[in-house]
Amino acid sequence: MADDIEPSVLACVALGANLGDARAVVQQALCDLANLDGSRVVRISSLYRTAPYEAFGPDFINAVALLETHLTPLELLHGLQKMELDQGRQRPYKNAPRTLDLDLIFHGEMQLITPELTLPHPRYRERAFVLVPLFEVCPERVSSEFLKAVSHQPIEKLKP
């Protein structure tokens, strides 16, 4: 490995969509993650249906993907934002319905607070739509206390 290549770290991306054919959009985004330069998908959760959390609109389709990546957190974030834009993502107001939402949940053990990115994601422990699929693919990152705290949020695992 060349000296200028970052070492590989395990990163987690939460995926969600609730406009258009949300299931197809999330499945396409999972394929697109597999083609992201400097990264490879190592695990993908099942798809889940959830009601909007602190938002309005149709139900969401959600999933979580674990990536092994050589990208820095900001490089990965910018790649995810480009994928969102390619799917027509608009941000007319906070928590608006969306064609695709990609959140970087963690990037190795990195702790980061910048105007552009906070790691780990500051609210992931409050959201069943992140914790339940994350528990499926990376149970060591999800405590039973975290799951209990979100147990009132409805979430349905979809059949393949």
Active site members: 89, 98, 101, 103
Q: Is 70 exposed, middle or buried (0-12, 13-18, 19+ CB in 10 A)?
A: middle
Residue type, 87: Q
Strands (E), the chain: 9-17, 39-44, 48-50, 60-69, 101-107, 112-113, 118-119, 155-157
Q: In which residue are the tokens 């099942």 written? A: 46
Q: What is the dihedral angle through the alpha carbons of 136, 140, 144, 148, rounded to the nearest 10 degrees?
A: -50
Task: Please count the residues of the chain.
Answer: 160
Structure tokens at 3: 């000296």
